[in-house]
Amino acid sequence: MTERIGFIGLGIMGRGMAANILKAGFPLTVWNRTPERTEALAAAGAAVAATPAALAAASDIVITCVSDTPDVQAVILGEDGVLRGAQSGSLVIDMSTISPAVTQEIAAALSARGVAMLDAPVSGGSEGAARGTLSIMVGGAVEALERAMPVLQTMGQRITHVGSTGAGQTVKLVNQVIVVGNCLAMAEGLMLAQAGGVDLEKALEAVSGGAAGSWMLSNRGPQILARDWRPGFTIDLQQKDLRLVLEAADAVGTPVPGTALVFQLYRTLEARGLGGDGNHALIKALEALAGFEVAG
């Protein structure tokens, strides 16, 4: 039997992910807080629910991809939330990046009503969401993952079971430590290229193919040279993740000095009203310190 899928949160990530589920032939119902954002999917054949509870009542598997921990709590546990409408035996998959500890609390509340939950945060950016090539890190029971696999495969290429409930979110935080380290290294490298007077495009091309190559460099390096700050991932959401990293690292006593530095650099950009820029705008913090700009 084909599972009926419900998708909550049609932002930069969710709209591409939901479109890929629909394209793969799953019956799809969507809900978004700002209703206009459901229009493109409705035109492509998705049903639109009036509330998360109504969406859950019409779905076997409910997927959430909203911003932050309180937002997932609101759409699942809140008034008219998923928990109100979900049938016993259904499955919730949260693909947002949120607190691992709160994930366990939400899973317990769902479990008390006979609803299983997976935490399945993603990496791969808006490009990966649109192309269905995300990397998905999954926490939760093996049986739930086996059930979820066909729908996860419409959104992602690498799907890794990393442990029990909350483990997916912990691994996503590991991912974010590495992402922001890459972003800072890219920004410093491009500042040096600018100051050294070399051709920036050629410098980027040369280093992308070697040991310095990374997703960040290939996807966001050209955007920096074009001074295109449109977000694949906003600074505001990046800071949300870094706060989760700093809390989690503090809880286990792990030093993360590089991440702490990047958090403070992003703070200077938020103070300048740039929280809606893409996370690659980190270079603007270095430009302000150095007194010159990188110009492609």
Q: Where are the beta strands (DSSP E) in the chain?
A: 5-8, 28-31, 47-48, 61-64, 91-94, 116-119, 122-123, 134-139, 156-163
Question: Of residues 20, 38, 99, 126, which one binds ligand NAP by CB under 6 A?
Answer: 126
Q: Which is nearer to ligand NAP, 194 or 232 (CB)?
A: 232
Question: Of residues 6, 11, 100, 168, which one binds ligand NAP by CB under 6 A?
Answer: 11
- Position 32 contacts ligand NAP (CB under 6 A): yes
Smallest distance from ligand NAP to CB 89, Å = 25
The dihedral of CA 286, 288, 289, 291: what is its sign?
Answer: positive
The dihedral of CA 290, 234, 218, 296: what is its sign?
Answer: negative
Q: Which is nearer to ligand NAP, 203 or 248 (CB)?
A: 248
Q: Which is nearer to ligand NAP, 72 or 207 (CB)?
A: 72
CB 149, CB 124: distance < 8 Å: no
Q: Which is nearer to ligand NAP, 158 or 202 (CB)?
A: 158
Binding mask 72-111 for ligand NAP (x = CB under 6 A): --xx--------------------xx--------------
Q: Total binding residues for ligand NAP by CB under 6 A?
A: 26
* Identity of the amino acid at 7: F
Binding mask 42-71 for ligand NAP (x = CB under 6 A): -----------------------xxx---x
β-pairing verdict for 134-139 and 122-123: antiparallel
Question: Of residues 3, 24, 27, 33, which one binds ligand NAP by CB under 6 A?
Answer: 33
- Position 232 contacts ligand NAP (CB under 6 A): yes
CB 179, CB 216: distance < 8 Å: yes
Smallest distance from ligand NAP to CB 70, Å = 7
Question: Any residues with CB less than 8 A from the CB of 194 and at least 6 apart, and which?
Answer: 200, 292, 293, 294, 295
Question: Of residues 3, 4, 12, 150, which one binds ligand NAP by CB under 6 A?
Answer: 12
Smallest distance from ligand NAP to CB 206, Å = 27
Q: Which is nearer to ligand NAP, 221 or 232 (CB)?
A: 232
Distances, alpha carbon 4 to alpha carbons 100, 206, 217, in Å:
27, 47, 38
172 part of the active site: yes
Question: b/e map of 188-212 (b: 16 or more CB within 10 Å)?
Answer: ebbbebbeeeeebeebbeebeeeee
* Identity of the amino acid at 10: L
* Identity of the amino acid at 137: M
Binding site for ligand NAP (CB under 6 A): 9-14, 32-34, 37, 65-67, 71, 74-75, 96-97, 122-123, 125-126, 232-233, 237, 241
* Active site residues per annotation: 172
